[in-house]
């Protein structure tokens, strides 16, 4: 119930207030934050830092499409051996976003699908990955808010996404990011 309500609110707010001037069109975002796995996988991988890049285009003032690439690094904690080993989770895919703006603040919902890659098979031992399975489908969905700077091209934001990778033993993770957005 909360999801549709929030969506309605976000869409309804778009264009209601007199917003601070902001560019619309092609955009790029770069962010960093942290990714943590949820129970089921969290026992075998510690939270780690992430970086995320997005490129896309605002098709309407309330809807945009883009691509996203992300990488996070985690310490693996399966039963030893091995010990003190790290792996990286790489993701890439398509991303859609809907939202609206109230003056200098924008709220949005985002989601998409793509592929995920574990950099090593260190989690084979606990069945998260399987030998030879390097790539897997990945889905993500989340929300965030954005603060429009006085320069109409720039905004900063804070967002969070939930990630699901069904083929990797249904691994689930939550990632947050603080980002800078440039809109051409």
Partner 1 sequence: MKKLSLFALVVAACTNDPAYIPGDMGLEAGMADGMGEMVAEARSSLSLPIETETMEDAAARAELAAQLGVDVPYVRIGDIEVSIEWTAKNLDPTEGIFELQLNGANEFFEYDPSVIVLSSDDEAPETPGLDGDIPIRIPPNGTMSGIFREDQVREASIDLDAITRGNVNPFNANLSINKNAESFQPMTPPMPDDEDYVQMPIGDPIPRAAFAQMIRIDLVFKPSTHMILEYVVRVRDLRGIVHELLGDAMAEAPGELTVFEPMEYAPMPPMPMPMP
Taking the C-alpha atoms of residue 28 and residue 178, their distance in angstroms, rounded to an integer, is: 14
In the DSSP assignment, the letter for residue 22 is -
Count of C-beta atoms within a 10 Å radius of residue 24: 14
Determine which residue in the list 46, 125, 141, 167 makes contact with partner 1, applying CB under 8 A.
125
Longest Cα–Cα distance of the chain, Å, equals 60
Nearer to partner 1, 82 or 166 (CB): 82
Degrees to nearest 5, angle at CA 34 with 162 and 184:
80
Q: Which stretch binds partner 1 (CB under 8 A): 14-22, 105-113, 129-137, 140-148?
A: 129-137
E-strand ranges in 82-170 read 85-102, 105-118, 135-148, 154-165
Determine which residue in the list 119, 126, 149, 156 makes contact with partner 1, applying CB under 8 A.
119
Q: Which of the residues 75 through 104 are near partner 1 (CB under 8 A)?
A: 80-83, 85, 88
Report phi then psi at 99, rounded to 5: 180, -175
The site map against partner 1 for 134-163 (x = CB under 8 A) is x-----------------------------
Q: Which stretch binds partner 1 (CB under 8 A): 32-40, 117-125, 142-150, 154-162?
A: 117-125
The site map against partner 1 for 37-76 (x = CB under 8 A) is ----------------------------------------
Nearest partner of 97 among 1, 5, 14, 2, judged by Cα: 14
Question: Which residues contact partner 1 (rule: CB under 8 A)?
Answer: 80-83, 85, 88, 119-122, 124-125, 131-132, 134
């Amino acid at each position: 119930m909360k999801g549709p309500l929030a969506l309605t609110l976000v869409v309804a707010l778009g264009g209601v207030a007199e917003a601070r001037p902001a560019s619309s069109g092609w955009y790029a975002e770069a962010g960093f934050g942290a990714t943590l796995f949820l129970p089921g996988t969290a026992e075998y991988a510690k939270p780690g830092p992430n970086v995320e890049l997005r490129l896309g285009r605002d098709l309407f003032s309330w809807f945009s499409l883009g691509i996203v690439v992300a990488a996070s690094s985690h310490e693996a904690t399966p039963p030893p051996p091995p010990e003190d080993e790290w792996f990286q989770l790489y993701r890439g895919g398509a991303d859609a976003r809907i939202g609206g703006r109230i003056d200098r603040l924008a709220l949005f919902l985002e989601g998409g699908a793509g592929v995920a890659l574990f950099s090593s098979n260190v989690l084979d031992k606990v069945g998260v990955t399987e030998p030879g399975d390097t790539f897997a489908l990945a889905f993500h969905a989340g929300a965030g808010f954005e603060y429009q700077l006085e320069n109409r091209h720039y905004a900063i934001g804070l967002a969070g996404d939930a990630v699901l990778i069904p083929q990797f033993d249904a691994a689930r993770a939550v990632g947050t990011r603080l980002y800078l957005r440039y809109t051409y």
